[in-house]
Amino acid sequence: MPKSILIDPKKIRKPGVLKFKDIQLNQYKSDFKKEVKKHGKEKLKQVLIDMLLIREFETALNRIKREGAYLGIEYNHKGPAHLSIGQEAAAVGQALMLDKEDFIFGSHRSHGEILAKSFSAIAKTKDDKLLEIMKNYMNGTVLNIVEKSDNQKNTKDLAYDFIIYGVMAEIFAKVTGFHKGLGGSMHVFFAPFGSMPNNAIVGGSADIATGAALYKRINKKPGIVISNIGDGASACGPTWEALALASMDQYRTLWGEENNGAPPIIFNYFNNFYGMGGQTLGETMGFGMLARIGAGVNEDQLHAERVDGYNPLAVADAIERKKKILEKGKGPVLLDTITYRYSGHSPSDASSYRTKEEMELWEKNDAIIEYSNYLIKNKLITKAQLEEYKDEVQEKIKDNFIKAIDMDLSPREDFNSEYISTVMFSNQKVEKMEDRKPDVLIPLKENPRVKSLAKKERYAFDKNGKQFSKNKLFVLRDALFEALIHRAYIDPTMVLYGEENRDWGGAFAVYRGLTESLPYHRLFNSPIAEGAIVGSGVGYALSGGRSVVELMYSDFLGRAGDEVFNQMAKWQAMSAGILKMPLVLRISTGNKYGAQHSQDWSAMVAHIPGLKVMFPATPYDAKGMMNLALSMTDPVVFFESQKLYDVGEMFEEDGVPRDYYEIEEGEPVIRRKGKDITIVTIGATLYVALDAANVLKEKYNIETEVIDARFINPLNYDLIIESLKKTGKIVLTSDTVERGSFLNTMAAQISQLAFDELDGPPVVVGARNWITPGAELEDMFFPQQEWIIDAIHERLLPLTGHQVTTNQTIGELLYKNKRGV
Amino acid sequence: MATAILMPVQGNTVESCLLLEWKKKKGDKVSKGDIICEVETDKAVFEVEAPEDGILLDMFFEEGDDIPVLTNIAVIGNEGEDYEDLRPTSESASEEVEQVEKEVEEKKEETKEPEIKEINITDSSKSRESVGVSPRAKRLAEQKGIDLSNATGSGPMGRIIERDIQNVINSSEPLTPAAKETMTSGDSIPTEGSGIGGRITSRDILLSSKKILKENVIKEEPIKGIRKIISDRMLESLQNSAQLTLNSSADASALLTLRETFKNGTLDSSFGKVNINDLIMYAVIKVLPNHPIINSLMLGNKIQYYENIHLGFAVDTPRGLMVPTIKNAQNYSLINFSNELKRLANACRENKIQVEELSGGTFTVTNLGSFGIDNFTPVINLPQTAILGVSRINLKPIQTDSEIKFVPHVGLSLTINHQVIDGVAGAKFLQDLAIAIKEINLLIAI
């Protein structure tokens, strides 16, 4: 909502015609002389060799999957193999014009792209640099193995072996693979050569690649980014969201000249006409030509065109032209690179959805045969040379295959190994992701909100114990702001974006004041595209920047499900720690807005391995925990209850410190001391529990210990168990619906950890297993103090003279479960 | 087809039998009627026969196993025959116990003697069902040596929680310094002290100590077989009924005279074997029909009244106490009754008693008179509701109009289950019985 751009009814309402430009299809014309001039003879030969290598690599996998042996060497590969036999020209042609700094992100069918991109990078990298990269990668583990053969002609040849072996060992889940076997066939990549994560979720790379392009754009890094996805991914919501995010007008209209326009990204669809078994041409999609998609996205029609992916030089030509467009900031670009796979979707695919004739037609047009003939016709190579190449290629693949399957040379991680535990999180503290001056608009102390907060009361009560008025208080949203702006002035890579983040200041005014300090490229409004918001945050973080993205309501988590559950959570471990994920995902949990705006879905993210989950309930914790989250290299889902944005600090008598501090990770805190019963809370129910504790003391002389868990994962149970040892009784409460709530996980853990301390079962008081009703009816849905007291009375400690007002009995619990409500 | 050998049902209340000894080996050729094994119930040893000719293909249990009735214990058939479907599963074994119980219940219904009436006992005394003890309370109780049965559950649904144990600790009497010194780990504190003001003394600790002073033990033997059954039955009886013993005596002058007459054989020499005990039991038979509540069983929350009298009587045997039953005792003439008593007693002593002769009693008489006992408190044979103990004959001073005469009296002790029989009802029975004994001549003449 920039005020600088006027929406003028006069213009908007004017009649007229919207015209589209022509979209070019397969316009490349071969010209051998020109091609030799551009690429050089050796390069043209190398294109053929690289294609042959990929073909042989995939053939080896195909043989062992289908026949259990390759060249008579038996091997049983348990994992997947989504092969790209037939698509080699597209991969090699694309890589030909890319540099090491250019990133490609791929799909489940990306072995060829990884190899091609790496081969291309090897050709363009000096030998000493190559050796340095190989020596540094996993402390030289892979290099040590491939060096043993001693049959490489030179360093570049050695680097070829390094790549072929590293990818193959990774596919076979070997500890010597590029990610120690934790990524596997569909996730292997090699970042030093610009081959970035390949994604097993269809279309998964589109928004991640957009994030990487944003990283390059915002931090002025060299190179472009290509999202290589299939035509099957052209329907996926997040790929459309990525197109929207990458083509926002604001890059040109608001970000300023010095920032080079749009993020440099090519959305390349390797269009092999099938999404698994569904035919995108004529069956499952309606575009006819995939390139048509570009026409609807922006005025440039995404510079879309169809490229003949069966001619490597046609693809190289397209990439070269499009790269220039991106470098001018005029992206993004869409390419419809047509190709065809002979192998099925996977070895289990019997190709029942296509005819033999069709497959034979394509095999007759096989890119490798065509390109070989082209080189032979133009006397660059002879037939005999071609056969020599084929023999050499087979020897190379065979040699690396033997090494990769050798259990002594290439062992697997031991089954008892806890290695994966060590890479689930990077657990590093990084002051700034890059050492340079952050782009800011004004000095921190001149920020209007910083100035206004200086006058606020940082402890909620005056000397007489009377609470200050809300307007005078430093509240939870201010605490978050302080932590965020602190880090924004230290880490130049830190960006914040999401819906209504700029100008409006975020729907709950946490960012109010940031607009004055941060330029557009560090704080901006995104399209309403939750998948791409989180997905691009993932791409930004794994590229090396710190991103803070926001889902306005927890309820919108479903819209970003894959990005949170499969991408944000998984990449650190799937890369065996090669990637870091300094990403903070802020999510507010709502109320008052009914069933689709009032849910607390912390249990869902708690369920997903690989995420750190925090939920502060006081200003002191909000600042200290946000500081902590912004200092780490791990993905953090940071929950904020809308009920609490305007609470002052009621516990730390010295108030919320003005200086920087962090809360110790995973440590709950006692907010009221007691000896008779323990109540553990997550989120806003802290205050409900304190009210209940007051009643328990006044009416029943029961002294309640109230503990705010603050953290969901990781979580240290020590303090809770210590309290339980004292009291023997424990109630857990939060605003999450009871069924599947993280409280039930806690209750189960507590029962295990301290069974003998229990004087009754851990009692969970959650929200009802209902939709959230309207604001006026909410008290029937969210836990109330009466629920807590009645639950104590019915399940833990009958209270003398207590009259229940709600039904918290075991019988009711059973009945509710039986009815599923 | 292979045939299973079943553990037979031995009497209505038998749920399982102990396998004493296999008489055949696996693979033996057996003929119908051959003894396969010996088993023991709570009342008798009996033999299990082969139901038909064949090879003993397999035995499913070992000697010493306690086997539910109607369980397949062995299988007979042709060599090489498959019999796996006859092998009892542990599940089916336990199901069978339930099944048997059910059948027993049903049988009881079917073969029920013509009843006078049946009334329901309203279960007002049913104690609140406790859901148990919290782990924390249990641990505290262990640490402090508190007997959980002394704690009253105040938690949800009667659960014993920490505060309940704390209450017991607070209310229990303190230890004397010497007691504290005597305490070693593992000792529990007795709940009642014998010291001044209920203080727990070192002696109390020693007496309740789990440690047994081994050096004084001269012999140790396991409680098993009939001893084990008696042990369980007696404890069960006392734990599950409200027993009250009424003591009285009956003028035994006529009894002694009659016995003397019989012995002399003046009338009929066959009466010579009829002894005092026979006569008293005969009197019991004659009196019982007027006191139906005494001749009853308490089964769950029902009282079953019986018209017929199945009279049990205690017999001392080398293997322990046994109680054979004379069925339909009211149908016997005195001489036949006496003979049947002798036959059953001998059968017990010679271990030839049939299982059915050991069960089904509706009332029991036990006599310790010959051991010089003056009176005692017999223990009821559940589900019977009363038992009569007969003691020795003593001279009792009786004041008549002019003088004090010493009249021989036989001691009578009636234990009743107060759940079912009130004191007055029991006293009235005893009163009638005393008259019947006093007028024994008249009684046998009727």
Say which residue, A344 or A536, is predicted with more confidence.
A536
Measure B297 CA to nearest chain A CA, in Å: 38
Measure A802 CA to nearest chain B CA, in Å: 13
Q: In percent, how much of chain B has pLDDT > 90?
A: 23
pLDDT score recorded for residue B175: 65
pLDDT score recorded for residue B112: 45
**CB atoms B136 and A798 under 8 Å:** no
A756 vs B contacts (CB less than 8 Å): 135-136, 138-139
Q: Give the tens place of pLDDT for each residue, A88-139.
A: 999 999 999 999 999 999 999 999 999 999 999 999 999 999 999 999 999 9
Do A68 and A137 belong together in one domain?
yes
Whole-angstrom distance, CA of residue A266 vs CA of residue A264: 7
Nearest to A104 by CA among A346, A260, A319, A311: A319
Q: Give the tens place of pLDDT for each residue, B355-367.
A: 788 888 999 999 9
Is pLDDT at A701 greater than 50 in this prediction? Answer: yes
- Find the domain containing A119 and state its range: 43-405
**CB atoms A728 and B136 under 8 Å:** yes
Whole-angstrom distance, CA of residue A804 vs CA of residue B3: 64
Nearest to A756 among B139, B154, B159 (CB): B139
Q: Report chain A's mean pLDDT, rounded to a whole number.
A: 95
Asked if the bond preceding A492 is cis, omega within 30° of 0, the reply is no
Active site residues of A: 597
Is pLDDT at A808 greater than 90 in this prediction? Answer: yes
User: Helices (DSSP H) in A312-425: which residue ranges?
Assistant: 312-327, 356-364, 367-377, 383-405, 419-424
Is pLDDT at A501 greater than 90 in this prediction? Answer: yes
**CB atoms B157 and A810 under 8 Å:** yes
- Check if the beta carbon of residue B204 is closer than 8 Å to that of residue B178: no
Nearest-10 Cα torsion for A41, A42, A44, A45: 120
Do A640 and A673 belong together in one domain?
no
Nearest to A534 by CA among A433, A638, A430, A607: A638
Q: Where residue A431 falls among pLDDT bands split at 50, 70, 90?
A: very high
Asked if the bond preceding A714 is cis, omega within 30° of 0, the reply is yes
pLDDT score recorded for residue B128: 40
Q: Give the tens place of pLDDT for each residue, B185-206.
A: 556 666 666 666 566 666 777 6
Q: What is the DSSP string of A214-246?
A: HHHHHTT-SS-EEEEEEGGGGG-HHHHHHHHHH
**CB atoms A760 and B155 under 8 Å:** yes
Is pLDDT at B231 greater than 90 in this prediction? Answer: no
Task: Note whether A794 contacts B: Cβ–Cβ < 8 A.
Answer: yes
Q: Where residue B88 falls among pLDDT bands split at 50, 70, 90?
A: confident
A796 vs B contacts (CB less than 8 Å): 155-156
Do A500 and A372 belong together in one domain?
no
- In this structure, the number of other CB atoms found within 10 A of the CB of residue A394 comes to 17
- Check if the beta carbon of residue B251 is closer than 8 Å to that of residue B409: yes
3-state helix/strand/coil string of B60-127: CCCCCCEEECCCEEEEEECCCCCCHHHCCCHHHHHHHHHHHHHHHHHHHHHCCCCCCCEEECCCCCCC
Report the run of H or E that residue B374 belongs to, with start and end.
none
Side-by-side strand order, sheet with A730-737 = A669-672, A704-708, A677-682, A730-737, A763-767
Do A229 and A377 belong together in one domain?
yes
Amino acid at A606: A
- Check if the beta carbon of residue A269 is closer than 8 Å to that of residue A230: yes
> What tokens appear for A348 in the block?
């289990």
Whether residue A186 is contained in a domain is answered as yes
pLDDT score recorded for residue B122: 37
The owner of tokens 């408190």 is B377
3-state helix/strand/coil string of B126-179: CCCCCCCECHHHHHHHHHHCCCHHHCCCCCHHHCECHHHHHHHHHHCCCECHHH
**CB atoms A760 and B159 under 8 Å:** yes
pLDDT score recorded for residue B117: 47
Is pLDDT at A719 greater than 90 in this prediction? Answer: yes
Cα–Cα distance list, A579 to A179, A568, A573, B281 (Å): 10, 11, 8, 98
CATH topology of domain B226-445: Chloramphenicol Acetyltransferase (3.30.559)
> Which residues in chain A (727-746) have CB-CB distances under 8 A to chain B?
728
Report, in angstroms and rounded to the nearest whole number, the Rg of chain A calculated over CA atoms: 30
List the single residue in A with minimal CA-CA distance to B162. A759
Do A627 and A681 belong together in one domain?
no
Amino acid at B403: E
Cα–Cα distance list, A82 to A44, A49, A62, A79, A467 (Å): 28, 22, 9, 10, 64
Q: Report chain B's mean pLDDT, rounded to a whole number.
A: 80
- Check if the beta carbon of residue B285 is closer than 8 Å to that of residue B309: yes
Do A633 and A736 belong together in one domain?
no
pLDDT score recorded for residue A109: 94
Q: For domain B3-110, which architecture applies?
A: Beta Barrel (2.40)
Q: In percent, how much of chain B has pLDDT > 70?
A: 78
Helices A111-124 and A41-67: angle between axes, nearest 10 degrees: 150
- Provide the number of structural domains found in chain A: 3
Whether residue A18 is contained in a domain is answered as no
Q: What number of H helices and E strands is found in chain B?
A: 11, 19
Q: What is the mean pLDDT of residues A704-728?
A: 98
Nearest-10 Cα torsion for B6, B10, B16, B22: -50
Nearest to B135 among A756, A796, A810 (CB): A756
Q: Give the tens place of pLDDT for each residue, A438-453.
A: 999 999 999 999 999 9
Helices A41-67 and A312-327: angle between axes, nearest 10 degrees: 110
pLDDT score recorded for residue B116: 47
Whether residue A160 is contained in a domain is answered as yes
Whole-angstrom distance, CA of residue A132 vs CA of residue B85: 73
- Check if the beta carbon of residue B92 is closer than 8 Å to that of residue B63: no
For residue A35, the Cα-to-chain-centroid distance in whole angstroms is: 40
- Check if the beta carbon of residue A554 is closer than 8 Å to that of residue A639: yes
Nearest to B154 among A755, A795, A798 (CB): A798
Do A240 and A344 belong together in one domain?
yes
Do A302 and A203 belong together in one domain?
yes
Whether residue A362 is contained in a domain is answered as yes
Whole-angstrom distance, CA of residue A674 vs CA of residue A679: 10
CATH code of residue A89: 3.40.50.970
pLDDT score recorded for residue B188: 63
Whole-angstrom distance, CA of residue A170 vs CA of residue A198: 13
Side-by-side strand order, sheet with B243-251 = B243-251, B404-417, B386-399, B363-367, B311-313, B325-326
Task: Note whether B156 contacts A: Cβ–Cβ < 8 A.
Answer: yes
pLDDT score recorded for residue B123: 37
Measure A679 CA to nearest chain B CA, in Å: 18
pLDDT score recorded for residue B261: 84
Phi and psi of A70, rounded to 5°?
-130, 125
Task: Note whether A759 contacts B: Cβ–Cβ < 8 A.
Answer: yes
Q: What is the mean pLDDT of residues B62-75?
A: 86
Cα–Cα distance list, B12 to A103, B235, B274, B310, B360 (Å): 87, 20, 32, 14, 8
For residue A372, the Cα-to-chain-centroid distance in whole angstroms is: 41
pLDDT score recorded for residue B85: 85
Do A451 and A302 belong together in one domain?
no
pLDDT score recorded for residue A378: 97
Do A677 and A626 belong together in one domain?
no
Nearest to A140 by CA among A130, A125, A152: A130
Burial class (CB in 10 A: 0-12, 13-18, 19+), A344: buried
- In this structure, the number of other CB atoms found within 10 A of the CB of residue A84 comes to 28
Is pLDDT at A708 greater than 90 in this prediction? Answer: yes
Whole-angstrom distance, CA of residue A792 vs CA of residue A677: 9
Q: Where residue B209 falls among pLDDT bands split at 50, 70, 90?
A: low
Q: Which residues of B69-82 are buried (b: 16+ CB within 10 A; e: fewer)?
A: bbbbbbbbbeeeee
Burial class (CB in 10 A: 0-12, 13-18, 19+), A387: exposed
B210 φψ region: left (φ > 0), alpha (ψ -120 to 50), beta (else): alpha
Q: What is the mean pLDDT of residues B225-250?
A: 86
Top mean pLDDT of A308-322, B242-256, B400-414 is at A308-322
Domain residue spans of chain B: 3-110, 135-215, 226-445
Report the run of H or E that residue A22 belongs to, with start and end.
none
Q: In percent, how much of chain A has pLDDT > 70?
A: 100
Whether residue A432 is contained in a domain is answered as no
Nearest to A487 by CA among A636, A660, A619: A660
pLDDT score recorded for residue B48: 87
- In this structure, the number of other CB atoms found within 10 A of the CB of residue A484 comes to 26
- Check if the beta carbon of residue A318 is closer than 8 Å to that of residue A324: no
- Check if the beta carbon of residue A130 is closer than 8 Å to that of residue A120: no
Is pLDDT at B110 greater than 60 in this prediction? Answer: no
Whether residue A693 is contained in a domain is answered as yes
Whether residue A737 is contained in a domain is answered as yes
Whether residue A111 is contained in a domain is answered as yes
pLDDT score recorded for residue A243: 98
Do A555 and A597 belong together in one domain?
yes
- Check if the beta carbon of residue B413 is closer than 8 Å to that of residue B388: yes
Do A453 and A369 belong together in one domain?
no
Q: What is the mean pLDDT of residues B203-232?
A: 70
Does the domain at residues B135-215 carry the CATH identifier 4.10.320.10? yes
Total residue length of chain B: 446
Side-by-side strand order, sheet with A523-525 = A523-525, A495-498, A547-551, A583-589, A636-641, A612-614, A711-713
Task: Note whether A415 contacts B: Cβ–Cβ < 8 A.
Answer: no
**CB atoms A810 and B154 under 8 Å:** no
B54 φψ region: left (φ > 0), alpha (ψ -120 to 50), beta (else): left
DSSP one-letter code for A480: H
Q: What is the mean pLDDT of residues B258-267?
A: 79
Nearest to A797 among B139, B155, B157 (CB): B155
